[in-house]
Structure 1
């Protein structure tokens, strides 16, 4: 009797757990980005969720056959192996021989051209999917609960918008650069641009450098990396749809950051930090100051109420259970630049002050003239 009751309870729990199992459409990014995305996939699969992964035909690391997921393979052209074989030795040579401004600029431009081509490939792959009516109908019929993607490339953003699905990011970088700059308030007076090796305590000249670098990076990334997606967005969604707004419209940003290792900065309610979710605690190695410092930081990082991976999975399932998280999204991205920076309010207040000063000056002039005329008449 006791055994049969336990068996019945076990069957009931299994049935309940399956009833909460959901369907995720995962659009990952190749290379090291896939390594950490796979950690999430393994954990989601272990919890009974059904996962479909969209991969390119030239993928290096994303397996077509896997016990963790089913895959959709889309033609995305051939990857330029020769570029990396030539570029990396030149980069190492420059590091050994010393940097020069012109060499760095030439390498940077060459790298930008290469990455631009990979973004165009991403758009082409997405276009192939959109034009395949059978595939798109099957994706709609599959009734996925959420799209999980890495926004370093924009295919997942476009696909989620087309299917009308909640969108969750596994993110550190986006098409436009460091992710915080796309979603959170980021005052450049104390938030250094990545790669400048500045701190949150900058001198005047460093702040000038920080702002100029930020403007240059945003311009280059928007022009070279964002343009293919903007053209794609206008073609398939209409001229009034902006890709950057689609990017910002994600329900949840799972950030691969941890403020143990980064400077404090403003954040948003739909940003959840899961830095180190794929890592294990560092082992203590006494006698080495640097390693002891690493151990201290590791201990500080792991002193959390729950593991970063558990936190990430909870919030993915939160979005699934609630069919999105629009209540966590700020409206700032829906505003124009003028509204966002309150330029219209500032100009209105300035006009009011100017009109008030003008009226005051005119009134004073009027009464002064009347007083002067009375005085002259009396005399």
Structure 2
């Protein structure tokens, strides 16, 4: 199944005029085109920041989508598990992404989604650039913010007033050992009651059977 999907994706890439960088681990797909370079690892954030990057194909993880938004790169999502599908639905609703279902993946649908995003007449790129501008519009840059808060903590000698109350909790409360102990105790009690009930029920059946035999 994994090889079949790899072959489908490779065939779709081969039909594109653009060059493709594909993080791929495993056997080389037989349908791989000359425009596709396979690598076992790549600096994803750096590639998304390259001005010639046109589209980002991803499973829809939160970190990757934030990187795409930051650099203004439209997304083609193939969600697999957990929050990935919900993330991609939100991106598609804003006109910056397309979704391809992994269970119905084929060359035609994958190629069509890619070409839609790459089509300059579509608004995927423009919409993503708008999101990127919103993301960048902050009172200060992240580095300046980090420097400010480090200096703030230094000025106030550790900034004890900002520390969470969890520091004052005993270790068993901090690690929720007391909560787990309560759940375990309830589980043991229920198991014991069930075992005793089964024994009583079996004894009653045996007594009834003996009384009938007598």
Query: What is the TM-score when the length of structure 1 is the normalising length?
Result: 0.26
Query: What is the TM-score when the length of structure 2 is the normalising length?
Result: 0.41
